[in-house]
Amino acid sequence: MSINARELKRRYDLDGPQKTVRHLSEAMREGHLRPDDFSIRDLAEALIPDGREWVSGLDPRHGGTSVLEASDGVDVTAFSNIAGQVVHSKILEAFQREELIGSKLVETVPTKLDGERIPGVGRLGDQAEEVGAGMPYPHVGLSEDWIETPSTTKRGFIVPVTKEALFFDRTNLILRNAAQVGEALALNKEKRILDVIIGATNNFNWRGTAHDTYQTTSPWVNIAAGNPLTDWSSLDQVEQVFADITDPNTGEPVLVRADRLLVAPELRATALRVVTATEVRTGDITTGTGTQTLTANPVSSYQVNSSRLLKARLAAAGMATSTWFMGDFKRAFAYMENWPVVVTQSPLNSEADFNQDVVLRFKASERGAAAVLEPRAVVKSTA
């Protein structure tokens, strides 16, 4: 599909910049339009007054006129806004790749702080007392509880649009650079999230004390050692680990709905076989003698998530790629986000135009940090 740039200019004049850019953003987000449907040169020629002459002025053979001189008094707002939206959409398209599951596994928590203390109160547990008729209710003390999230970090890149890219209409080159920026930001974020999930990065700070995410002894145990993923009994063993985890304030069991598995690719087929089996046979099924029991699959309610990058992160952390995880990941982990991917653009007539023939520059950045909120909500199993 190709966009009629002149019709776009007409809609821009009628609807105004905000409405036009918003409609374009919605159309690209819903898949009705794609960044690749646009031509950067056609946009310049249609959206800039006397656009053909403006683009021709990029040719040094025409007297060596610079963009700074050619654009003096020329309204390039429409071109800048539309081109910016196209680049922004391409960056987001690459950033939101389906195979990167980290952001989908954890809760995204908007925050304006560079690391914060999240307050809470210890649970009361089963301390309710019987209150007689006309008698006052007893007072209880709430124990102070809090966690501290790590400092956030900013990542970003700049996508340049050169004179040559405009003059020769190298839209694909511009969009490829934009896609690489989106992919690089997404990959970096995915690695940071997965490193926190697998315990390669331990940033859980509870009541002022740092703890590893996965523990084999008090204050909680959420490692199932010697538990390779083989069949339904592997998941049952993790459920028994959850059953033994208690709230440190009350001693009561922690109520967790563990409904998701995270595995490396080598365990994906096994995990799917385990959770999608239609029946389970127990007893002496090898020889076929004695009593055999046939039941419905007791672990069919679990979802399976797998990631090629997970295998690489496990290996980088010195962990066996047969390690697998089960629990409520959104309860356990969060991405503390100062801002999502945002794209800003520099004005025309910048110093980069004269020094590097860069007509426009688009800066993409995001800032945040993966954090552990409740490590008792996930169990790590090792073979």
Q: Distance between CA atoms of 89 and 359, rounded to whole angstroms?
A: 20
- Give the pLDDT score at 136: 85
Which 8-state DSSP code applies to residue 343?
E
Q: Is 371:196 a contact under the CB 8 Å cutoff?
A: yes
- Give the pLDDT score at 165: 86
pLDDT digit string, tens, across residues 71-115: 444 567 788 888 888 999 999 999 988 778 999 999 999 999 999
Q: Output the average pLDDT for the chain.
A: 86
% residues pLDDT > 70 (the chain): 87
pLDDT digit string, tens, across residues 23-53: 888 888 888 888 988 888 888 888 888 888 8
List C-alpha distances in Å: 109 to 3, 127, 195, 244.
37, 32, 18, 29
Q: Which residues contact 106 (CB under 8 A, 6 or more apart)?
A: 193, 197, 329, 330, 333, 334, 335, 370
- Residue 211, pLDDT > 50, answer yes
Secondary element (H or E) of residue 370:
strand 358-372
What type of residue sits at position 294? L
Beta-bridge partners for 328: none
Tokens of 324: 């697998």
Most confident of 65-69, 92-96, 244-248, 316-320: 316-320
- Give the pLDDT score at 68: 41
Torsion of CA 330, 332, 338, 341, to 10 degrees: -50
- Give the pLDDT score at 204: 97
* Closest CA relative to residue 119, chosen from 197, 207, 184, 188: 207
For the chain, the domains span: 5-107+158-197+342-368, 203-336+372-381
DSSP three-state, residue 1: coil
* pTM for the predicted model, two decimal places: 0.85
Tokens of 224: 């199932």
Beta-bridge partners for 335: 108, 370
Q: Distance between CA atoms of 207 and 210, rounded to whole angstroms?
A: 8
Q: Give the confidence band of 355 by pLDDT, cuts at 50, 70, 90.
A: low
Q: Is 320:314 a contact under the CB 8 Å cutoff?
A: yes
- Give the pLDDT score at 15: 86
Q: What is the mean pLDDT of residues 50-68?
A: 66
